[in-house]
């Protein structure tokens, strides 16, 4: 009887420490650009902090609905944060530690960009990141200032 209880407790603790394989979407609507950004995070390892990330954009451009999506550089250990910036030419940047995406709503495209080609005069809008409870979410700039993209421990 004690052995069974110990076994059930051990399995329960082990499962509590596991990552869920369920998709974790986080979204933001940027009304000034009539678009919605969503990044879906999905665990790729049951025990380690490893996740795939998929960026999706939906909106309206030229009176037509628009949608695009792309895989982002994976979160290979507490490097999943993505900062969102608005540029002076109306594009959006989604910038991670290892990749930067440019969202051009005029052509409804998401493109990979080298960091050196990004405009420097941008406005920080918010971040896709884990909250205090380790849940994937969007955190607007009014709730938290821009955070660096260096690896967290």
What is the percentage of the chain residues whose pLDDT exceeds 70?
Answer: 86
79 close to 99: Cβ distance less than 8 angstroms: no
- pLDDT for 62 beyond 50: yes
Question: What would the mean pLDDT of 56-75 be, rounded to a whole number?
Answer: 90
On the question of pLDDT at 150 being above 90, the answer is: no
What per-residue confidence (pLDDT) applies to 12? 44
Pair of tokens at residue 102: 């440019």
pLDDT for 77-108, tens place per residue?
Answer: 878 999 999 999 889 999 999 999 999 988 88
Per-residue model confidence (pLDDT) at position 9:
43
- Rounded to two decimals, what is the model's pTM? 0.84
Question: Long-range contacts for 18-25 (Cβ within 8 Å, ≥24 apart)?
Answer: 18/46, 18/47, 19/43, 19/45, 19/46, 19/47, 19/48, 19/49, 19/50, 19/51, 21/46, 24/135, 24/136, 25/136
Question: Each residue of 32-46: pLDDT tens digit?
Answer: 888 999 999 999 998
Phi, psi (deg, nearest 5) at residue 132: -60, -25
Collapsing DSSP to helix, strand or coil, 45 comes out as coil
Q: Is the pLDDT of residue 139 over 90?
A: yes
How far is it, in rounded angstroms, from Cα 95 to Cα 105? 17
Classify residue 82 as exposed, middle or buried by CB count within 10 Å of its CB (0-12, 13-18, 19+).
buried
Range from 49-53, 56-60, 72-76, 104-108 carrying the lowest mean pLDDT:
104-108
Supply φ then ψ for residue 20, to 5 degrees. -80, 145
| Other CB atoms within 10 A of residue 111 CB | 13
Q: Report CA torsion sign: 28, 33, 34, 35.
A: negative
Beta-carbon contacts of 6 under 8 Å, excluding residues fewer than 6 positions away, are none
pLDDT higher than 80, residue 152? no
Radius of gyration from C-alpha coordinates of the chain: 18
Residue 49's pLDDT band, with cuts at 50, 70 and 90, is confident
Give the per-residue pLDDT at 2.
62
Q: For residue 14, what pLDDT is reported?
A: 42
């Amino acid at each position: 009887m004690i052995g069974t209880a110990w076994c059930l407790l051990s399995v329960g603790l082990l499962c509590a420490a596991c990552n869920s394989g369920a998709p974790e979407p986080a979204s933001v609507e940027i009304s000034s650009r009539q678009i919605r950004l969503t990044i879906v995070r999905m665990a790729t390892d049951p025990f380690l902090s490893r996740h795939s990330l998929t960026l999706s954009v939906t909106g309206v451009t030229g009176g037509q609905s628009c949608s695009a999506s792309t895989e982002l550089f994976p979160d290979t250990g507490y490097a999943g944060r993505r900062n969102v910036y608005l540029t002076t030419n109306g594009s959006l940047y989604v910038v991670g530690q290892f990749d930067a995406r440019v969202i051009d709503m005029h052509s409804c495209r998401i493109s990979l960009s080298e960091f050196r080609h990004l405009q420097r005069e941008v406005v920080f809008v918010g971040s896709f990141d884990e909250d205090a409870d380790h849940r994937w979410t969007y955190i607007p700039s009014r709730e938290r200032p821009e955070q660096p993209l260096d690896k967290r421990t």
